[in-house]
Amino acid sequence: MILRSFFLALGQIDDRAFFRVLLLGLSLTVVLLIGACAGFLGLIQWLTQDGFGIAWLDNAEWIGDALNWGAVLLFVVLSVFLMVPVASVIASMFLDEVAQAVEAKHYPHLPPARKVPLSEAVRDTLNFLGVLLVANVLALIVYAMLPFAAIFIFWAMNGFLLGREYITLAAMRRMGRDGAKAFRRQHSGRVWLAGVLMAVPLTFPLINLVIPILGAATFTHLFHRLSGTQPRTARG
């Protein structure tokens, strides 16, 4: 069911409405990563300015240069972790548009979905993002204690958190907030597994750029299939 949902999402890339949202999501993902990189490097440079941090050491300019180059390499690694909050933001911003494109093609027989008010959408975005950031910061301690299991802990934890967010957003359009929470609890095992299968490719550069939008489409299909609604591709 999960893989079938993913392949249905993948097969819709050539759909005009879906492709437009995919490009928008891809562009915003790149912008967010570049912004995070610039901010991180700016912080490193600020910490190594004269009169602050280690820059008071005599002839310490080489240390600042080394830190700057190290920061670039470190950011390549951190970009893997940064893709998780980026995916969270992308989901909150684009899931409704992705779901509309998916439903227009595969579930045209369904009535229009509920529009989530902007205030609720912003609140949900901040809540989901806050939980993700706190959980991943605290997980750094566990990664340091269990380095060989770090990647599996990362996948399991973020798979749970991302799956929880994506299925909630997808279900809220049809069931409301309370119904979405109950639905998520009812199908927690499959939602977690789908989230893990989304978290894994997020750790691969370039591939991870398209996963937030494909994930939104996948969870839209997963929600409908778990609800017992079968896809019925629109004609024409």
pLDDT(43) > 80: no
pTM for this prediction: 0.81
pLDDT(51) > 50: no
Dihedral angle of Cα 72, 77, 82, 86, to the nearest 10 degrees = 90
Both tokens of 209, joined, read: 């750029």
Tell me the percentage of the chain whose pLDDT exceeds 70: 81
- What per-residue confidence (pLDDT) applies to 56? 44
Compute φ and ψ for 107, nearest 5 degrees: -135, 55
pLDDT(220) > 90: yes
pLDDT averaged over every residue in the chain:
82
User: Residue 55: which pLDDT band, with cuts at 50, 70 and 90?
Assistant: very low
pLDDT tens-place string over residues 94-138: 888 899 999 999 999 899 888 877 788 888 888 898 999 899 889
- What per-residue confidence (pLDDT) applies to 153? 94
- What per-residue confidence (pLDDT) applies to 174? 92
- What per-residue confidence (pLDDT) applies to 74? 65
Q: What angle do CA 129, 135, 140 make, to 5 degrees?
A: 130
